[in-house]
Amino acid sequence: MTDHRTPDELEGLARGSLPGEQARTALDHVVRGCADCGAILGAVVPFLAPLQARQGKPPPLERGRRAAAPAPADDRALAVFVEHALPESSSAAQEVGRAAAALAALHQGGIAALAASSALSPLTACLALLRQARELRHGEPGALVETALWATLAARALEPGRYGAELVADLQARTRAELGNAYRVADDLPAAEKALAEASALARRGTGAPALRALLLEFKGSLCGVLRRFTEAFGMFDAARALYAERGERHQVGRVLVSKGLYTSYANDLERAVHLLHEGLAMVDEERDPQLALAAVHNITRTLAELGQLAEARALLHRNRERYERHGEPRVLLKRAWIEGSIAAGLGELEEAERCLLEARRGFKLAGAPYDFALVSLDLAAVWLRQGKTLLARQLVEDAAAIFKHLGITREALAAVLVLQRAFELEVASVALLEPVASYLRRLARDPTARFEQAER
């Protein structure tokens, strides 16, 4: 591997000053096995120092700044997480306080604070980064991938002579699994598949801990779900659920059920999906993972709306308004506004639908989410058509069509959009024509094999 990163790039990586995409590219380069760049980074980041020692080279850079870690926090969720990440280790309890301090440093100063601390072992940094990745799963995908890459590097710095070869293999498998899941969330599916395969190979050299086996099955199930391999996905979810249940891990069982419910909805078995999501929500420990509980509520609401149970979906949103406000990431709040608009439109409350859909549309534009922006534009166009605002609706459809063309949607999808656009040009557009196209494009976002049928709705 000869395409090395520059010393300035690697020092910027440690300082947290390298732009996101550039930072992820540099991290990926080191993770893929560049020993020279790993040694340089190890000279700057104390918890990665073993990477430098293995290379046997003098430090090419001055060491970074030092920062004392904050006092340990009393974090029950973190304690459970550490014990889960180290199921076969006798040192799990003593790592809780250290990991809490490292996690506090991450929360306060980002990766730069963690990288500058001289007090961290690779194990402590690894545990803190894994926990941070867990917290970021419902947030910005780029930040999740970057955190998982750092965790993978920290695991590579673990010394088998100090921690034991099997425990090191477990943690390296754990971080690779987290990286694979991060790539899935970021829609880089080939990278996700590769990282999860690497995680499985590492796990075979470890302790055989059921918790790790269950987590790998859970992550692979989610990837199979995205790839529309539902039979495989559901089999993996069921196997993970059984392993968690054997260990009495109720929260993890709930998490698997929530995931299975989500992909069951993607498989268009909507009533079964609602049942699974409710069952999972009842088992989730909200104190440990409030965003998981919110995700379950949100997907129940979305699925009820798709089933046409609009009053029930609205009541669920109303009951969980505080939960959304406390734990909802910006994108989730935008999707809530979108669902609220769709429910209002379905109930004939056109002014309320217009207000909510305009809010969601503005938000998706600011968030740089063109597909969702175009989809919500079509829903708003249907509302404006009903209100007699035909010229405004036509402009929305034309703008959405331009975005879909630019994004390279399938031929069948583009044909449906162009038929809709042509109908506006001929002044024969109607809600009955527009809504099936919008419904189809929503399904296409989670099912690339979806086919357009005029009578979808």
Distance CA 445, CA 427 (A): 28
Instruction: Of 249, 439, 444, 284, give the one whose Cα is nearest residue 276.
Output: 284
Residue 70 has what pLDDT? 35
Where do we find the tokens 């129940």?
Answer: 300
The DSSP secondary-structure symbol of 381 reads H
Instruction: Of 214, 153, 225, give the one whose Cα is nearest residue 192.
Output: 225
Where do we find the tokens 């009393």?
Answer: 74
- Dump the DSSP string for 44-73: HSGGGHHHHHHHT---SS------PPPPPP
| Contact predicate 248/283, CB 8 Å | no
Residue 151 has what pLDDT? 93
* Token representation of residue 36: 């020279």
Amino acid making up residue 259: S
Residue 250 has what pLDDT? 96
Distance CA 28, CA 32 (A): 6
Residue 161 has what pLDDT? 85
What are all long-range contacts of 404-407, with beta carbons under 8 Å and residues at least 24 apart?
A: 404/374, 404/441, 406/370, 407/370, 407/371, 407/374
Where do we find the tokens 């709040």?
Answer: 333
* Token representation of residue 432: 């009955």
Q: What is the mean pLDDT of each run of 10 residues along the chain (457 residues)?
A: 73 78 85 83 84 54 34 48 61 66 80 82 87 84 92 91 86 94 93 96 91 95 94 97 94 97 94 97 93 95 95 96 91 95 96 97 93 92 92 90 85 82 80 84 77 58
Domain boundaries, the chain: 209-328, 367-457
Residue 86 has what pLDDT? 66
| The architecture CATH gives domain 209-328 | Alpha Horseshoe (1.25)
Residue 21 has what pLDDT? 84
**Max CA pair span of the chain:** 76
Total-model pTM: 0.83
Amino acid making up residue 203: A
- Dump the DSSP string for 227-294: TT-HHHHHHHHHHHHHHHHHTT-HHHHHHHHHHHHHHHHHTT-HHHHHHHHHHHHHH--TTT-HHHHH
Distance CA 17, CA 350 (A): 47
What are all long-range contacts of 179-183, with beta carbons under 8 Å and residues at least 24 apart?
A: 179/31, 179/145, 179/148, 179/149, 179/151, 179/152, 180/219, 180/223, 181/137, 181/148, 181/219, 181/222, 181/223, 182/133, 182/141, 182/144, 182/145, 182/147, 182/148, 183/145
Around Cβ 447, how many Cβ atoms within 10 Å? 13
* Token representation of residue 17: 């000053």
Distance CA 102, CA 142 (A): 21
Around Cβ 285, how many Cβ atoms within 10 Å? 17
Distance CA 382, CA 360 (A): 15
Burial of 352 (0-12, 13-18, 19+ CB in 10 A): middle
User: What is the helix (H) or strand (E) element at residue 224, kind and residue range?
Assistant: helix 210-226
